[in-house]
Chain A
Amino acid sequence: MEFLQYLSPSTQFVLFSALKIFAVFGVVMTAVAYAVLVERKVSAWIQNRVGPNRTAPFFINYLPVIGPFLVRLGIFQPMADGLKFLLKEDFTPNYVRKVYFWIAPAITVIPALMTVAVIPFGSTLGTEKMVIADLNVGILYTFGIVSLGVYGIVLAGYGSNSKYPFLGSIRSSAQMISYEIPMGMSVIPIFLVAGSLNLGDIIRYQAEHGWMILKQPVAFVIFLIAAFAETNRLPFDLPESESELVGGYHTEYSSMKLALFFLGEYANMIASSAMMVTLFCGGWTLPFVTALSTPSSSILIGLLHIGVFFAKMALFMILFIWVRWMLPRFRYDQLMDIGWRRFIPAALINIVVTALVVAFLHD
């Protein structure tokens, strides 16, 4: 690491930022692949099945005991799935609006990946902060980017130029806009309490004063349920709703373009899990352990912080998956009713009450 000191600060910044971007991108992509595997395994266990347990590359025969065990866990399944998606015939129907049909999957994935940029996934590694962009308005950035994700689904429905995708995309845009409002309102009390929009500051506040989930349980519940609606996951997967809309907005898609929609969905799940960990569950800190709740210059502790963050995130991912296989789908009018007539008033009351408490405690 000697050569680093000869570089100018701006060169160092570019170098470290590029490194962090590649690392985070790689981790998110791998996490998406294995989230699909976990999804298949968990659904299998819930339905009393076995799940993927056959995919075995040629070298597995040379590994005694551990090899067959890995195969039974389905560790190699994501690679086979990815390869299959890439090699399938990419079919474009005749009647689609070509440009929109082609760019819609990309527009779904890009915002999902961009959201991760402001999330502090660890304290420090050496002297380097473990966040790609330490923005003062981090949370607003996230909401701004998330709100762009709607375009992918809307354009997919419009570009497909057929009725079920169109209905799916109309539903989805209404659903996502509706749930952005309670989601945005539910986090306001957190900033009232913590006194900053910077996500790093919020984690620091939680390390000193305890997790937000205990102080703002109402906000957490609203945010969690809104996150299910924003990521189009069951019980709110009305945009797909295969029993009535065939496949919803991605009915006409095949091959890698279809895979990109799933990639976007899982990347969104990862991003919202990371947001929930950051906002409500203390980020990379652990309570009662001083070494784990303060930033440190030691590489080992730094890595441990990142590990804590990922463990918490994995728990939320499992919650997402678990709920999907336990609950039936809501009706569309029920979904809208919950969003507009329950969550928005509840979030507003929560803001007012929190503001009053904060104001009186300050005096």
Chain B
Amino acid sequence: MPQFTDILFFGLAGLVLLFGFLTVANPFSRNPVTSAMFLVLTIVSLAGLYVLLHAFFLAAVQVLVYAGAVMVLFLFVIMLLDLKEEEHRRLKSGILAVGSLAVVAFVGILLATLLKAKPAASAVAGRLVEGDTAKLGTLLFENWLLPFEILSVLLLVAMVGVILLTKKDLK
């Protein structure tokens, strides 16, 4: 008899794949809002997978940041722009080729990482993310301070860039 967590894992993983598929290629609707909503469901199911890994912090932040903030803004923009031509657009072969290339490259990187990862290393990582935010904070601010700070500067640059782009007349 399979474990309860195994059933949950396969259920959630199936949901992630299903919702992810419906996000990019929904046979019933080409409405961008529907796609965005399926992306939200994908993100929430992914958070469920994090919970199964006992990474409660990651799961909560995933829902809070991606589902709760980023996707609401996406929805906002889609609804305000009212994209009509998107629903009628046909797939072009050039776009298809570039898309496939991106998928192959990404899967390649993912597989390479998975093959390189040692089981022992992942066990340590698994223990560290387990809900304990204090440990996560210590790790982030002691061992990984430089990447962390570089990322925050990157975000700041993006923010300044956006504000610059929205200004119509610069003085």
Contacts and interface: CB of A to CB of B under 8 A. Distances in A.
Interface of A: 100, 135-137, 140-141, 143-148, 150-151, 154-155, 158, 166, 170, 173-174, 177, 180, 197
Interface residues of B, number: 22
Most chain A beta carbons < 10 A, residue from B33, B44, B56, B60 = B60
Interface stretch (B14-22, B64-72, B101-109, B118-126): B64-72
Contacts of A197: 133
Contact of A147 (B64, B76, B131): B64
Nearest to B71: A151
A135 B69 contact: no
B64 A144 contact: yes
Contacts of B61: 140, 144
Interface string B41-68: 0001000000000001100110110011
B132 interface: yes
Contact of A136 (B67, B68, B79, B132): B132
Contact of B68 (A135, A144, A170): A144
B68 A148 contact: yes
B72 A154 contact: yes
23 contacts: A135-B56, A137-B57, A137-B60, A137-B131, A140-B60, A141-B56, A143-B68, A144-B60, A144-B64, A147-B63, A148-B63, A148-B68, A150-B68, A150-B72, A154-B72, A154-B76, A154-B79, A166-B79, A170-B76, A170-B79, A170-B80, A173-B72, A180-B69
Secondary structure class of chain A's binding surface, majority of residues: helix
B40 interface: yes
Given A137-B56, A151-B40, A180-B69, A144 B75 contact: no
